[in-house]
């Protein structure tokens, strides 16, 4: 029997976040416009709403999107603690491990997402300067008016401010906000790389007492987790990294930022299939699940048809 223990709840949490991201992506239709001095993030379907509503929707998408970062890192930490049992994290599996894991997850998540919200508050919130900076190009490209009476909500950052002579001057506060985002981003990446290194070493060691079946299962889960890291790096983290860095070079890529945003919708759609295909236990159960699904949809119609025939027979006998 294939079992993954408490790890199934981490897989479930990943699936829930994937579903929520897809729903919010569909409802909001997010877009990004890049310029030579910064970029603006907004949601097409909420541009007619007030500033507060638009900003709230943008923040919701950001919070859900960056949940994947902290969840991926937490996946690796869980596997690292389970396989390596390091002394400095041994307290997690001590008295009341459920409480310890849940408490750790909540604290880390609040600090991580709170850090992004702090960075956004310092450099991305709407103000008169960014409205004036981004309004002409949004009106020209998309017929969107940031100076409309409802004052549409968005998240926009300007790394440079244009002076009267046309030159651009770096804005220190915006760069500090960017550095905080990068610190959080690379911080989670460092945690994952550290855990990958330790887990690979642990799986290759022969002095660690693991049954062959358990070692094989852990290897499969580890490979699945690696793919779950590589795919979003290519479809989500990499493209959005370009959105952050390209404006620093002075290049104006305009609506290509929206293309980068569209690629982020790919991973939530394919993530569940990655786990199903890469983990043998899930892959083996998939045909049985599909058969049960098909049979459950056929049985009601069969029962209905049988009942209809019986009813027709009764009616025929009465008429006779």
Please check whether residues 305 and 180 belong to one and the same domain: no
Q: Measured between alpha carbons, how far is 302 from 309 in angstroms, rounded to an integer? A: 11
Between the alpha carbon of residue 262 and those of residues 15, 140, 256, the distances in Å are 19, 21, 10
Query: Quick one: 289 and 274 in the same domain?
Result: no
Q: Does 2 reside within a domain?
A: no
* 292 and 208 together in one domain: no
> What is the distance in angstroms between the CA of the first residue and the CA of the last residue of the chain?
58
Q: Is residue 289 part of a domain?
A: yes
Longest dimension (CA), the chain: 100
- The pLDDT tens digits along the chain (320 residues) read 444 456 677 777 877 887 888 899 899 999 999 999 999 999 999 999 999 999 999 999 999 988 888 888 888 898 888 888 899 888 888 788 888 888 998 999 999 999 999 999 998 999 999 999 999 999 999 999 999 999 999 999 999 998 888 788 999 999 999 999 999 988 988 998 998 898 888 877 765 556 666 666 777 777 777 887 888 888 888 888 899 999 999 999 998 998 888 887 777 667 666 666 666 565 666 677 667 767 765 555 444 444 455 555 444 444 44
How many CA atoms, within 13 angstroms, populate the side-chain half-sphere of residue 160? 17
Other Cβ atoms closer than 10 A to 8: 10
Same-domain check for residues 164 and 301: no
Q: Where are the alpha helices (DSSP H) in 205-263?
A: 212-232, 238-245, 256-263
- What pLDDT, on the 0 to 100 scale, is given for residue 84? 85
Structure-token match 């220190």, residue found: 172
Helices (runs of H) and strands (runs of E) counted in the chain: 10, 5
Global pTM? 0.78
H or E stretch at 201 = helix 172-204
1 in any annotated domain: no
Task: Identify the pLDDT of residue 296.
Answer: 64
CA 258 from centroid of its chain's CA atoms:
17
Q: Does residue 105 lie in a domain region?
A: yes
Q: Are residues 89 and 170 in the same domain?
A: yes
Q: What CATH number did the domain enclosing 198 receive?
A: 1.20.1070
User: 26 is written with which tokens?
Assistant: 């569909």
Q: Indicate whether 190 and 316 sit together in one domain.
A: no
Residue span of the structural domain in which 317 resides: 285-320
pLDDT on residue 14: 76
Question: Same domain, yes or no, for 296 and 234?
Answer: no
The count of domains in the chain is: 2
């Amino acid at each position: 029997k294939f079992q993954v223990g408490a790890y199934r709840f981490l897989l479930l949490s990943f699936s829930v976040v994937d579903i929520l991201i897809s729903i919010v992506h569909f409802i909001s239709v997010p877009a990004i416009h890049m310029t030579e001095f910064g970029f603006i993030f907004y949601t097409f379907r909420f541009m007619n709403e007030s500033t507060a509503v638009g900003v709230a929707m943008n923040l919701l998408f950001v919070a859900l999107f960056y949940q994947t970062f902290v969840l991926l890192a937490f996946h690796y930490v869980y596997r690292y603690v389970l396989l390596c049992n390091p002394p400095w994290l041994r307290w997690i599996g001590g008295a009341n491990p459920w409480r310890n894991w849940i408490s750790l997850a909540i604290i880390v998540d609040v600090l991580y997402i709170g850090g992004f919200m702090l960075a956004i508050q310092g450099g991305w919130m709407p103000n008169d300067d960014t409205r004036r900076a981004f309004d002409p190009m949004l009106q020209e490209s998309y017929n969107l008016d940031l100076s409309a009476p409802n004052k549409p909500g968005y998240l926009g950052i300007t790394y440079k401010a244009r002076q009267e002579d046309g030159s651009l001057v770096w804005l220190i506060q915006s760069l500090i906000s960017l550095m905080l985002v990068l610190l959080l981003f690379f911080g989670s990446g460092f945690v994952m790389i550290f855990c990958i290194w330790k887990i690979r070493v642990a799986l290759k060691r022969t002095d660690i007492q693991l049954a062959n079946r358990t070692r094989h299962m852990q290897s499969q889960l580890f490979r699945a987790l690696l793919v779950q890291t590589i795919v979003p790096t290519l479809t989500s983290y990499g493209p959005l990294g370009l959105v952050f860095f390209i404006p620093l070079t002075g290049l104006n890529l305009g609506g290509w930022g929206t293309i980068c945003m569209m690629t982020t919708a790919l991973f939530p759609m394919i993530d569940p299939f990655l786990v199903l295909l890469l983990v043998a236990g899930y892959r083996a159960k998939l045909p049985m699940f599909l058969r049960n699904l098909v049979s459950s949809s056929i049985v009601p119609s069969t029962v209905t048809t049988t009942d209809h025939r019986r009813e027709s027979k009764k009616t025929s006998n009465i008429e006779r």
